[in-house]
Structure 1
């Protein structure tokens, strides 16, 4: 394989990391060491830990100070252009597609096993004050935290605000703005998001 082709293959994986788990053995010979080196370098500089067989895009920005750790489970996929600031905990087989923006605030963001975030999802586990006695940028910050359960699908360009819990097996539609808790198995959509169905219905 030419070096030029390998670099293009890396670009493809950075944008579509699920393809990493479909690589043939001849490609894994270079892809595994590439991934191990990326993840070990980040672990040496940030308060980040990776589980087994994860994929980390080269242009995925992860920042985690002591007390604001990022913990990533096994076989997680993090695509290019995404931003993660701890505290964040990802379960196993969690997929973060390109362009997502996740900040755990102080209380933290937790995403359960096998959940999927489509591209450009925004989740902020904090909020600014809005008192009139001083400018907005000088306001205090509150944080309740965000919890996303297992086997949850969050559609492209959806936003989830601080304090929200999304139950296991729920689905959040494209472009939804989630401002309140979502029960398990529920399908929600809209701004603000409202219940439109249940995954258990025929």
Structure 2
């Protein structure tokens, strides 16, 4: 069973309507049967969402524009097989790994997340970043090509929460569960 967009609502492959999730009709989703997406998610324009190896997008994530979320890659296999690549099955060097975005994470424009990325909750991937496979901690700020952890979102969040204490309970509701 696949997923479908119905106006501003998004229906997951398991039939659940996500009332607060918005996915641009200009985003390409491949293998939607292997996409698990939670509610309160925003996915902007001109993205490639490859779910063939399994993709989880946690609650509250924002994926901006021109982002590639990948779960497979033939970047090694194509060189190994050359002209014979399309005539063969079960390629050596063909990579397929699940990718996971922790809840309330933000993916900046023009970023690429390779197969096997496990992004912790509350993280930010800065614009134009190339994130290689691996586990990244909760609240990480990643930037660069290749992306590296360059900060912790809780530092900036603390400043905002100090100026807006009425938001503290809302932040704590997701940040500490």
Q: TM-score, normalised by structure 1?
A: 0.63
SS at match of 2:25: coil
1:77 to 6, 9, 22: 22
Q: Distance in 1 between matches of 2:23 and 2:113?
A: 19
The change in CA–CA distance for 1:77 and 1:133 in structure 2 (over 3 A counts) is: closer
User: Deviation per CA, 1:136-179, whole angstroms, max 9, x where unpaired?
Assistant: 73362331110001000000011000011000000000000000
TM-score (normalizing by structure 2): 0.71
Q: Does 1:99 align with 2:46?
A: yes
Q: In structure 1, what is the equivalent of residue 95 of structure 2?
A: 142
Residue 112 of structure 2 is matched in structure 1 by: 159
Deviations 1:10-56 (A, max 9, x none): xxxxxxxxxxxxxxxxxxxxxxxxxxxxxxxxxxxx622569x6169
- 2:14 and 2:26 map into 1 onto residues whose CA distance is 17
- Corresponding position: 1:185 with 2:139: yes
Choose between structure 1 and 2 for higher RCO, CA contacts under 8 A separated by at least 6 residues. 2
Residues 1:47 and 2:19 aligned together: no
| Alignment of structure 1 residues 108-147 onto 2, 5 Å | 108-128=54-74, 129-130=76-77, 134-135=81-82, 137-138=85-86, 140=91, 141-147=94-100
Q: Which runs of 5+ in 1 are unaligned?
A: 1-45, 57-63
Cα distance in 2, alignment partners of residues 133 and 119 from structure 1: 33
Give the number of aligned pairs: 145
SS in structure 1 of the partner of residue 136 of structure 2: coil
Q: 1:198 to 1:149 in 2, by over 3 A?
A: same
Dislocated runs of 4+, deviation >3 Å:
69-74, 136-139
Q: Distance in 2 between matches of 1:75 and 1:133?
A: 44
Q: In structure 2, do the counterparts of structure 1 residues 70 and 103 end up closer, same or farther at CA, with 3 Å as the change threshold?
A: farther
